[in-house]
Structure 1
Amino acid sequence: MTVHSFTAETLQGNAMPLSEYSGKVLLIVNTASKCGLTPQYESLQELYDSLKDEQFEILGFPCNQFGAQEPGSEKDIQEFCSINYGVRFQMFAKVDVNGENAHPLFQYLTHEAPEVEHGDIPWNFTKFLVDQNGNVVERYEPTTEPHTILKDIEAVL
């Protein structure tokens, strides 16, 4: 099993098999629009812009589990991300990332992340670096600024 084994719903309501990202390095992030870390959208977009031509993708998964900081509908999320941060990387429908209703992808990510003892996601903007084969390479804490992991991403590319 790898990340490519899962399917997720996009903000537009379409089921997307993550196998479509086979051969690409991924940064998977749980996001929120009303969080103190929300400005990371800007640096995520800059990271995406600088590497998108090198088989790199960012997948954003809005989550309302932390302080109800993602209360809007999928349409609200799409408008917020586009208008405020110019987000052009793939955003998915809202998911739970912890607990019994956690999306299977996040159950997998939290179990497979190296050097983390299968811990729950602590907050919005936890990041997972995934290699071209769909294997989890690294997990980054919410406060890790996206630009600081550029060298890690380039090493996997």
Structure 2
Amino acid sequence: MPDVRQQTERSAVFRQMFRYAMVGLFTNLLGYLIYLLLTYLWDAPKLTMTALYSIGAVTGFFANRRLTFHHQGQIGAAGLRYLLAQLSGYLLNLLLLVLFVDWLGFPHQIVQAVAIVVVALVLFALSRYFVFSPPAADQGVIRS
């Protein structure tokens, strides 16, 4: 039987995932609709994804720092870690587009929709355990 601490930690993770999903759902749905419009007009999926990814990353930093992870640490240090996490997410997104669209011939609209979910899951883990993790002195404190 799991102890109370494990149950509390699991509950905190689920609450953070829910808040992260709400922030992500709003920003990614809006971004995906703009992506579809711009690629229809412009026909440049990777360039469009790059521009929209940058805008979404900035919005996501402030929303997730405050609403999802309630981060109280230094904004500069978290910002640098966030930049590294987002760069990883961007490269993963680009890799998925190149692999599945350019090499395997899948429609970019479907690949990008799936990539949004895959990258979001990776970025949640990076945000929770790397970007917005509590200071070392607070490791014993359970975050919600």
Instruction: Report the TM range for the smaller structure's normalisation.
Output: under 0.3
- Give the structure with the larger helix fraction: 2
Higher relative CO (Cα under 8 Å, sequence separation at least 6) belongs to: 2
TM-score, scaled to structure 1: 0.22
TM-score, scaled to structure 2: 0.23
Rg (Cα) greater in structure: 2
